[in-house]
Amino acid sequence: MTLPWPLFLALLKLLGRRRRFESIEGLRTAVARDRKTASAEPPASVRKRCTISKYQVDGHDCYTLAPLSGAGSVQLLYLHGGAHVAEISPFHWRLMAELVETTGCTAHVPIFPLAPEHTYRPASAMVNEVYRALAAGHDPRQLVLMGDSAGGGLALALAQGFAALGLPQPRDIVLISPWLDLTVSNPAIPALEADDPWLARPGLAEAGRWWAGDEDPALPHLSPLYGPLQGLGRLTVFIGTRDLLLADCQALRDRTAAQGVHVEMHEATGMIHVWPLLPVKRAMAARAAIAQIVRGRR
C-alpha cells in the first residue's frame, strides 16, 4: 500500500516525529516511550513472505531472512537506523522482505544494543563479528553491506575498519540517508534543518554523544565522513533534498572525488529522511534501484 505524498507528510507532522529531535528532553522522553512499546521482532506480515531464523551474537539476536524458495548466493547485511537510540521498525523489516523476495538474497539483520544504555562499542563488536562470519563463509563478491540513517554511518565505519585491516570488502555498500558525522556541525545544516520535517540538531547531537560515550564523536570510527575512503566496496548513497543529512552526504561525495574514489549519488528533490523506506510511490523506484544493486547489476 502506498500513501499520497501530502498525506504522508501530514501524518508525519501529526505523529510529532520531529519533536523527539528538537530538544534533549524530547529525545529522552521518546526513548523512554520507545523502550516500553517497541519490538525488534519481524512483523507477522514479513514472516509470511520469508523464511526467518534467529541466532545470537554476543548475547544479542541476529535474524536471517531467506526466500521461501530458490535462495541465491548474495548475502546482505543490513544495519538499521534510528539515531542509535531507536529499535528496528516495520519499515526496515518490509524493505528486507521486499529485497529478499525480489532478488533471492539472504538478509542478515543484527539487533544491536542501543544508546543511551550502551555506547557504540558492543554494537560495533557485534556487527564486526557478523560480517567476519559472512566474509569467511562466502565469496566477498556476493556480499552487500547496507544501512540507513545511523545504520548507514555504522555500515561505512565498519567497511573502513576492514579496509584498514586489509580484510575483504563487500561488493557493494549501500547507504540510505546515512548519518556520517555525529556532531551535526556542517555549516550547511541549519538552512537544511529549516525545511526538514523529521530531523533536528539538538536531539541528534545528544544521541551522537550518547553513542560515543567518553570518546570524541568526531573521531572517524564514529563519524566515518572523516575516515579513509580508498579501498572500499562500491559506494551508493540515497539522500533527499529535505534531509538535513544532505550536507554531509554532499561532503562525502566531495571527499571521495578528492581521493579518486567514485560514489554513486541518488539525490531526490523534495524527498525527506530515509525516503526509500517509506510507503510512498516515489520510493518504489529507489527500492527497485537498490534491488538491482543487490543483484549485482547497475
Fold for the domain defined by 5-295: Rossmann fold (3.40.50)
Mean pLDDT over the full length of the chain: 96
- pLDDT at residue number 298: 63
Q: Calculate the alpha carbon distances from 192 to 50, 241, 249, 255 in Å.
A: 38, 8, 13, 20
Average of pLDDT values for 59-85?
A: 95
Q: What is the pTM of this model?
A: 0.97
What mean pLDDT do residues 172-182 have?
98
Beta pairing class for 234-240 and 172-176: parallel
The answer to whether residue 15 scores a pLDDT higher than 90 is no
Task: For residue range 147-158, list pLDDT tens digits in order.
Answer: 999 999 999 999
Q: Please tell me the predicted confidence (pLDDT) of residue 7.
A: 93
Q: How far, in Å, CA of 140 to CA of 134, rounded?
A: 8
Q: What is the pLDDT of residue 71?
A: 82
pLDDT in tens, 96-152: 999 999 999 999 999 999 999 999 999 999 999 999 999 999 999 999 999 999 999
Render pLDDT for 189-228 as a digit per residue (tens, 0 to 9): 999 999 999 999 999 999 999 999 999 999 999 999 999 9
Q: Does residue 74 have a pLDDT over 70?
A: yes
pLDDT classification of 1: cutoffs 50, 70, 90: confident
| HEC sequence for the chain | CCECHHHHHHHHHHCCCCHHHHCHHHHHHHHHHHHHHCCCCCCHHHHCCEEEEEEEECCEEEEEEEECCCCCCCEEEEECCCCCCCCCCHHHHHHHHHHHHHHCCEEEEECCCCCCCCCHHHHHHHHHHHHHHHHHHCCHHHEEEEEECHHHHHHHHHHHHHHHHCCCCCCEEEEECCCCCCCCCCCCHHHHHCCCCCCCHHHHHHHHHHHHCCCCCCCCCCCHHHCCCCCCCEEEEEEECCCCCHHHHHHHHHHHHHCCCCEEEEEECCCCCCHHHCCEHHHHHHHHHHHHHHHCCC
pLDDT higher than threshold 90 for residue 297: no
**What are the residue boundaries of the structural domains of the chain, listed by start?**
5-295
- The reported pLDDT for the residue numbered 86 is 97
Per-residue confidence (pLDDT) for residue 172, from 0 to 100: 97
